[in-house]
Amino acid sequence: MKRIALLGASGSIGTQTIDVILQHPDLFDLVSFGVGTRAETARNLLKQFPDVSLCAVKNETDALSLMKEFPDKTILYGEAGLKTIAESDYDVLVNALVGFAGFAPTLAAIESDHDVALANKESLVCGGELITRALALHGRTLIPIDSEHSAIFQCLQGNRMRQVKRLIITASGGSFRNRTREELDSVTVEEALAHPNWSMGAKITIDSATMMNKGFEVTEAHWLFGVPYEQIDVLMHPESIVHSMVEYVDKSVMAQMGSPDMRLPIQYALSWPDRLPLDEPPLDLAKAGTLHFSAPDTERFPLLALAYEAGMKGGNLSAVMNAANETANAAFRNHEIPFTMIEDIVIGAVHDAPYGPLKTPGDLYAADEWGGEYAAAKIRKLN
């Protein structure tokens, strides 16, 4: 029985993780979880999973009412609550938080000798250097949940890392893949939130439309697999059936395919190295008929190129990029800025940032604050 701690239990990845746990009650058990402001989800999960002993919510008020209702459970709140769960007793942490808030629990879990199944890519985008160091020090494993990284992880099984020539990350292109740059000036939040292939949380859906998400995935792959940026390519693939590929020195290319359903990479992260049945119709390639591939247009999607630039320059720049994006992405969703302004802000932040090393969590928090403040100042000027 694998005892699972789940942060971000009320989100898109979180609820699908619950689905996977419920499908295999003999193998997986939920022992602790965190949600944001959805106290109702916390209430339901506390009733549904008798082995849960720890629960964290974002606000103190929600925590106080849950304490009254569930006097035999430990109810926590705020950032400290997430950290307490990350450091508690369990077998694997599923980090399904969104944004930089996910970094501290990822690091705390590793430093308290736990393996992490990671959906929260921002952890690695910002703090990849710190996390890889902690993983090596504590002999722990980070198992990817992001579908592209799960695909690469699956293509690497039984092969040798030193014989990898190239990682090829596929990209659907997001909600605006068929629009020109000029057409982007007037797009709405609702249009941006309608992803053609995947149903995901709001932030990542916007990140997919700007392709910041694909840039993040390049950085994520760099840290997860220890492959230089020069050997990571992005390939447009609108059908989202080939989830990513690995090319080896003999030019053999391994690909992992499947329907766009996040439950597969979530389940694999929990069952690895085993595979378990999944109640999903089999992939019907005859029905799909044709799969398309093309090179990405980095002029059309400048944030993809920016992620490479920030990653290759290193230091604090990817953390600055993430922070500026987090603020700009939220401002767009709040109707405070137009869509293309997200790009202007994030590019400006990376180019104007005082470059520095990222050796300590203090360096990281400073970079995050700088990037967030930079973006907030640009947004204030507009409003």
Residues forming contacts to ligand NAD in the complex (CB under 6 A) are 8-14, 34-36, 38, 58, 82, 96-98, 101, 119-122, 146, 198, 200-201, 203-204, 262
Burial 331-351 (b: 16+ CB within 10 A, else e): bbbeeebbbbbbbebbbebbe
Name which of 30 and 82 has its Cβ closer to ligand NAD: 82
Encoded amino acid at 114, one letter:
H
Nearest distance in Å: CB 251, ligand NAD: 29
Name which of 34 and 315 has its Cβ closer to ligand NAD: 34
List all residues 6 or more positions away from 120 whose beta carbon is below 8 Å from its beta carbon: 8, 95, 96, 97, 98, 99, 102, 103, 106
Long-range contacts at 43-49 (CB < 8 A, ≥ 24 apart):
43/69, 45/9, 45/18, 46/70, 46/73
Unique residue bearing structure tokens 């190129």: 305
Name which of 122 and 343 has its Cβ closer to ligand NAD: 122
E-strand stretches of 61-129: 74-77, 92-95, 115-118
Unique residue bearing structure tokens 């890889």: 132
Name which of 219 and 359 has its Cβ closer to ligand NAD: 219
φ, ψ for residue 26, nearest 5 deg? -80, -15
Encoded amino acid at 52, one letter:
V
Q: Which does 10 bind (CB under 5 to 8 A by kind): ligand NAD, Mg ion, none?
A: ligand NAD
Nearest distance in Å: CB 172, Mg ion: 9
Name which of 208 and 316 has its Cβ closer to Mg ion: 208
Name which of 62 and 146 has its Cβ closer to Mg ion: 146
Name which of 181 and 235 has its Cβ closer to ligand NAD: 235
Distance of alpha carbon 93 from alpha carbon 101, whole angstroms: 15
Distance of alpha carbon 147 from alpha carbon 160, whole angstroms: 21
List all residues 6 or more positions away from 111 whose beta carbon is below 8 Å from its beta carbon: 134, 138
Q: Which of 229, 194, 257, 220 is nearest to 132 (CA)?
A: 220
Q: Which does 364 bind (CB under 5 to 8 A by kind): Mg ion, ligand NAD, none?
A: none
Name which of 168 and 375 has its Cβ closer to Mg ion: 168
Nearest distance in Å: CB 36, ligand NAD: 2
Unique residue bearing structure tokens 């293309």: 340
The SS3 of residue 119 is: coil
Q: Which does 173 bind (CB under 5 to 8 A by kind): ligand NAD, Mg ion, none?
A: none
Nearest distance in Å: CB 289, ligand NAD: 25
Nearest distance in Å: CB 138, Mg ion: 26
Nearest distance in Å: CB 203, ligand NAD: 6
Nearest distance in Å: CB 82, Mg ion: 23
Nearest distance in Å: CB 214, Mg ion: 8
Distance of alpha carbon 73 from alpha carbon 69, whole angstroms: 9
In the complex, the residues that contact Mg ion under the rule CB under 5 A are 146-148
Q: Which does 121 bind (CB under 5 to 8 A by kind): Mg ion, ligand NAD, none?
A: ligand NAD
Show the tokens assigned to 302. Answer: 């400048």
User: Measured at CB, which residue is nearest to ligand NAD?
Assistant: 11
Q: Which of 87, 50, 43, 41 is nearest to 65 (CA)?
A: 43
Eight-state DSSP code of residue 231: G
Q: Which does 34 bind (CB under 5 to 8 A by kind): Mg ion, ligand NAD, none?
A: ligand NAD
Cβ atoms within 10 Å of 183's Cβ, excluding its own = 10
Q: Which does 12 bind (CB under 5 to 8 A by kind): ligand NAD, Mg ion, none?
A: ligand NAD
Name which of 38 and 138 has its Cβ closer to ligand NAD: 38
Nearest distance in Å: CB 302, ligand NAD: 20
Distance of alpha carbon 30 from alpha carbon 52, whole angstroms: 6
Q: Which does 6 bind (CB under 5 to 8 A by kind): ligand NAD, Mg ion, none?
A: none
User: Measured at CB, which residue is nearest to Mg ion?
Assistant: 146
